Chains A and B, each alone.
Chain A
Amino acid sequence: MQRALSFILVVLLVFLVFLPARAEEEGGRGYFDLGVFAYEDGDYQNAESYLKKALELSPDNPYYNHYMGKTYLKTEEYKAAEQYFSRAWKLDSEISGLKYDRAMLNYKTSKYSMASDLFTEIVNEDPSNVLAQYHAGVSLLKQRKYDKALDPLLAAAEMSPTIKANGFYYAGACYWEMGKADKAVEKFEYVRDHADSEMLRENALTWLRTIEEEKKARKPYSLYLNVGYGYDSNVTLDPLDEDVFSDEDDYFTRIHFSGKYNVINRKDLVLGAGYSHYQSWYNDLEEYDLTGSLFNVYAKYRLRPFTLGLSYLPSYYWLDQDSYLRRHKIKPEVVWEWKDSLSTILSYSYSDNEYFQDEGWSGDRHEGYLNVYYSILDKMGYLFGGIGYEDNDASSPDQDYGWLKTRAGVFFHLPWELELDIRGRYQNKKYDNVDSFYGVEREDDKYFGAVSLARKLFYQWLAMAAEFNYTKNNSNISAYEYDKYVGALYLRARY
């Protein structure tokens, strides 16, 4: 009896020991195991084949589904991977590594929001998961959530020597986008000096160069001074076929100063104010001396690829020290950067003009303008063109008109630090009413062409320029027909 009992006990023990093993081996376990080995060997073709057989026998095994998804993730069959991961997730969402694989699939299929959520969950559960930290950061960066991307990227970089340079590279990009240029430079310099990958080093160098250029362009203040002396062949707009004035040409001295300061100078938001002063003195025709004070309060908000801008531009002009014009101008605009080399600016402006010397000229102006800029030769130059229309509603019906404006030009950086600027304008001004004096509806066609050649002088911020421009105005009223050319030498400082 005792022997029989012992025998039963032994049988029971063996049964208990074998039961889980046997259960485990059932339903395609052998295929699955070889599938896992094949997967880990990088033999995805065999892995797929083994796992298929395992799934035929146990389609609801979460582990089989998980590894099949992993295999398809490796072979970049993302749709199939999604199918198997979803099934595995439904069957057992707590399988080790499944959440990471799903996050990776979302990342690979550019579903960065879902990827970052999952990677962040993994990081919260296990902060030592360095790859989850890294990919959480990159996924957030892809969504332009730079401030949120920074922490996981830096954490990953600190935790892993192999991630360090790469993580710092993207952290640098985040800092830059957040407007922290100095910290961005610090990270890119580390990458430039320490990255093993040549590609990473070169890219860091490109960033550093761009940042340097951008820092110059994005410094909170800018100053511009243009001082010149030149000759104007027709100061008084002498009609082409009439000789009203004998002293229509003259030499002039011209100063244009402009300064602005950005109170808020972030990459995405700029708020600032500026002042420009314009002054011209004629040697003889002093009554044409013009003084202009132009103020500018502006805001720019960047929402890539768009930049929204709004400016308020009050200005005041004096003619030979007498008040000539007071203008209040409001100008909203949208800059659309289509791609790195192509951008457009669409603007509207409203002006309220008060002419002190002839009230009849005072009134409102509405102007719409579209400008297109296209960078060429690896940003060694750009082409531009624009078209606009202005509607002038003045106190005097003689000064009501519609004005079509077009412009085109090209700018080049040439060898020997030369800069060439060629631009032209064609404008057609149609007056709305019959001129009370001439008894006809006036219509003018104006042509303007200018060539300017500038060269740096001793310093990067100092240049000398020679400019020549020609204007011809055709009108159906001969008194307004004129042409003129202006030649001048300028000294320009831009800081």
Chain B
Amino acid sequence: MSVPTKRFFFALWAIPLLVLAASVYGFDDTSSGPLVPEGLTVEDAFKPGIGSPVGKVAAVRGEVLIVHEGVLLGYRAQKDLPLFKGDTIIALEKGQIRFELNDGSALTLIQETKLTISESIYDPKNKDRSSYIDVSVGKVRSVVTKLSGYKRSVFKVRTPTAVCGVRGSDFITVAMVNISEITAYEDTALGVLGRDFLQEPPLLITEFEKAIVEKGKRPRKEKADRDKAEQLRKEFLFPDELVERGREEEAGEKPGEKFEEEGILVPEYELVKPDRLGKPERGAAGDIPDREGVAGEEEEVAEVVESAAELMLDDVIKQDTVLPPFPGTPLSP
């Protein structure tokens, strides 16, 4: 192959790569709708979400919002705030947050990222861990705790174009509407599926490999450029002192402990409406039997009174009209 032909082929490969790189780092044009839901009100006083906490905020920098499921109310994220199933976490411009799930897995979001904890079960008693994380847009680093001997240990991340599953690992997900890029780091094994190719076996990637999943296309694997990958990982680091202080403070503290005294919230729809349990039942000694009881007694007495009058009538008629005895038999001589 001649040199110009080689150049031509190089250029042919370079164009989509450039387009890809541009799209990876150019969130604004490709984001799936507004980062912050329309009409969202932001409150400073945090209120817990529904159910028991599934994790808690480990560190925050800049502006990050926590939105509980089903409400248009956001709370400014602060260290130690509990997180609940269904919570959406939005890291705004220059915002950064690290939170930990109850199983110890740590997720870090950097600016302009939106993530929802769709499901998070951590049941050490039944050896069951199942987390479903939805990354609508942005960049998330997941350091997933390896759990050995677990009957089920599932950690899934969904992006607009991919679903990836992992057992224990360190990986970064970069999600946009039409393309997702998942980079695996040390000791990591990931299975990545394109959302349009669910019937196919997952694309397996291991350390310093990355999966690129474009909308409507099969996932493809690439070797990650170590320097770039490390550079990307650095984006997720907090200033050391912030993280260290946070870790020291949280020693011995359970997620959401501060809010435990407020109790566990449950969704309104789970509660039985009073009209479905009937009205208060009145006792047998209600108004009617009482009134009729007295009436019945008076009726009985009236009957006795009438019987007495009748008896006396009988006395008068029957006894008074008894004919006088026949005159005695003629006296015997």
* A interface residue numbers (CB < 8 A to B): 14, 17-18, 20-22, 24-26, 28-31, 33-34, 36-37, 40-41, 50, 53, 63, 94-97, 128, 130-131, 134, 138, 141-142, 158-164, 166, 169-170, 173, 176-177, 197, 199-200, 203, 206-207, 210-211, 213-214, 217-218, 222, 224, 226, 235-237, 239, 244, 256, 258, 267, 270, 276, 278, 280, 287-288, 290, 292, 294, 300, 302, 304, 307, 317, 319, 324-325, 335, 337, 340, 343, 345, 355, 357-358, 361, 371, 373, 375, 379, 382, 384, 411, 423, 437, 471, 479-480
Contact with A along B127-148 (1 / 0, CB 8 A): 0101010100000000000000
Chain A residues with Cβ under 8 A from B298's Cβ? 226, 256
Q: How far apart sit A357 and B314, CA to CA, in the bound complex (Å)?
A: 11
Pull 14 A–B residue pairs with CB atoms less than 8 Å apart, ordered by A. Answer: A21-B167, A24-B154, A29-B202, A36-B132, A95-B152, A96-B130, A160-B265, A162-B265, A164-B263, A236-B309, A288-B309, A307-B284, A317-B304, A382-B288
Which A residue's beta carbon lies closest to that of B314? A358
Q: How far apart sit A50 and B262, CA to CA, in the bound complex (Å)?
A: 38
Chain A min CB distance to B300 (Å): 8
Q: Does B52 contact A (CB under 8 A)?
A: yes
Q: Does B280 contact A (CB under 8 A)?
A: yes
Q: Does B95 contact A (CB under 8 A)?
A: no
Q: Does B275 contact A (CB under 8 A)?
A: yes
Q: Are A166 and B271 touching (Cβ within 8 A)?
A: yes
Chain A residues with Cβ under 8 A from B237's Cβ? none
Which A residue's beta carbon lies closest to that of B164? A33
Chain B residues with Cβ under 8 A from A317's Cβ? 304, 308
Q: Are B274 and A22 touching (Cβ within 8 A)?
A: no
Known contacts A37-B132, A224-B294, A357-B311; A96/B123 CB under 8 A: yes
Known contacts A161-B263, A218-B285; A33/B305 CB under 8 A: no
Known contacts A17-B189, A26-B201, A210-B282; A276/B304 CB under 8 A: no
Which A residue's beta carbon lies closest to that of B152? A63
Q: Are A276 and B297 touching (Cβ within 8 A)?
A: yes
Which of A33, A173, A214, A226 has the most CB atoms of chain B within a 10 A radius of its CB? A33
Q: Does B318 contact A (CB under 8 A)?
A: yes
Q: Does B246 contact A (CB under 8 A)?
A: no
Q: How far apart sit A292 and B284, CA to CA, in the bound complex (Å)?
A: 27
A290's partner among B52, B288, B308 (CB-CB below 8 A) is: B308
Closest 10 CB pairs of A and B: A30-B198, A203-B274, A40-B118, A307-B284, A17-B189, A210-B280, A237-B309, A30-B193, A25-B202, A96-B123
Q: Are A163 and B274 touching (Cβ within 8 A)?
A: no
Chain A min CB distance to B31 (Å): 19
Chain B min CB distance to A50 (Å): 8
Chain A residues with Cβ under 8 A from B206's Cβ? 14, 17-18
Chain B residues with Cβ under 8 A from A176's Cβ? 280
Q: Does B313 contact A (CB under 8 A)?
A: yes
Q: Does B273 contact A (CB under 8 A)?
A: yes
Known contacts A29-B165, A36-B118; A237/B288 CB under 8 A: no
Chain A residues with Cβ under 8 A from B166's Cβ? 21
Chain B min CB distance to A408 (Å): 13
Chain A residues with Cβ under 8 A from B273's Cβ? 199
Chain A residues with Cβ under 8 A from B126's Cβ? 94-96
Chain B residues with Cβ under 8 A from A480's Cβ? 310, 313
Q: How far apart sit A331 and B301, CA to CA, in the bound complex (Å)?
A: 16
Number of A-B contacts (CB under 8 A): 236
CB interface residues, B 238-292, toward A, < 8 Å: 262-268, 270-275, 277, 279-292
Main SS at interface, chain B: mixed
B285's partner among A17, A161, A270, A290 (CB-CB below 8 A) is: A270
Q: How far apart sit A308 and B323, CA to CA, in the bound complex (Å)?
A: 54
Contact with A along B17-60 (1 / 0, CB 8 A): 00000000000000000000000000000000000100000000
Q: How far apart sit A20 and B277, CA to CA, in the bound complex (Å)?
A: 49
B274's partner among A199, A287, A371 (CB-CB below 8 A) is: A199
Q: Are B204 and A21 touching (Cβ within 8 A)?
A: yes
Chain A residues with Cβ under 8 A from B311's Cβ? 355, 357-358, 361
Chain A residues with Cβ under 8 A from B287's Cβ? 213, 217, 379
Q: How far apart sit A210 and B281, CA to CA, in the bound complex (Å)?
A: 8
Q: How far apart sit A480 and B314, CA to CA, in the bound complex (Å)?
A: 9
Chain B residues with Cβ under 8 A from A373's Cβ? 288, 292
Chain A min CB distance to B222 (Å): 17
Q: Are B283 and A200 touching (Cβ within 8 A)?
A: no
Chain B residues with Cβ under 8 A from A213's Cβ? 282, 287
Q: Does B199 contact A (CB under 8 A)?
A: yes
Given contacts A96-B130, A237-B306, 13 further A-B contacts (CB under 8 A): A14-B189, A20-B167, A21-B204, A25-B202, A95-B128, A162-B268, A210-B280, A214-B283, A237-B312, A244-B316, A335-B289, A361-B307, A382-B288
Q: Are B279 and A206 touching (Cβ within 8 A)?
A: yes
Chain B min CB distance to A167 (Å): 9
Q: Does B190 contact A (CB under 8 A)?
A: yes
Q: Are B266 and A162 touching (Cβ within 8 A)?
A: yes
Q: Are A25 and B286 touching (Cβ within 8 A)?
A: no
Chain B residues with Cβ under 8 A from A33's Cβ? 132, 156, 158, 163, 165, 193
Chain B residues with Cβ under 8 A from A164's Cβ? 263
Q: Are A292 and B304 touching (Cβ within 8 A)?
A: yes
Known contacts A21-B167, A33-B132, A479-B317; A40/B283 CB under 8 A: no
Q: How far apart sit A17 and B202, CA to CA, in the bound complex (Å)?
A: 14
Q: Are A222 and B266 touching (Cβ within 8 A)?
A: no
Chain B min CB distance to A424 (Å): 12
Chain A min CB distance to B239 (Å): 33
Q: How far apart sit A11 and B193, CA to CA, in the bound complex (Å)?
A: 23
Known contacts A25-B193, A30-B199, A163-B271; A288/B308 CB under 8 A: yes
Q: How far apart sit A480 and B317, CA to CA, in the bound complex (Å)?
A: 10
Q: How far apart sit A307 and B281, CA to CA, in the bound complex (Å)?
A: 13
Q: Are A22 and B204 touching (Cβ within 8 A)?
A: yes
Which B residue's beta carbon lies closest to that of A200? B274
Q: Are B283 and A218 touching (Cβ within 8 A)?
A: yes
Chain B min CB distance to A97 (Å): 7
Chain B min CB distance to A268 (Å): 9
Q: How far apart sit A50 and B286, CA to CA, in the bound complex (Å)?
A: 57
Q: How far apart sit A448 and B330, CA to CA, in the bound complex (Å)?
A: 55
Which B residue's beta carbon lies closest to that of A337? B284
Chain A min CB distance to B132 (Å): 6
A40's partner among B86, B268, B288 (CB-CB below 8 A) is: B86
Q: Does B121 contact A (CB under 8 A)?
A: yes
Chain B residues with Cβ under 8 A from A375's Cβ? 288
Chain A residues with Cβ under 8 A from B277's Cβ? 138, 141-142, 170, 173
Q: Does B119 contact A (CB under 8 A)?
A: yes
Chain B residues with Cβ under 8 A from A200's Cβ? 274
Q: How far apart sit A30 and B309, CA to CA, in the bound complex (Å)?
A: 96
Q: How far apart sit A230 and B17, CA to CA, in the bound complex (Å)?
A: 112
Chain A residues with Cβ under 8 A from B128's Cβ? 95-96
Chain A min CB distance to B276 (Å): 10
Q: Are B280 and A160 touching (Cβ within 8 A)?
A: no
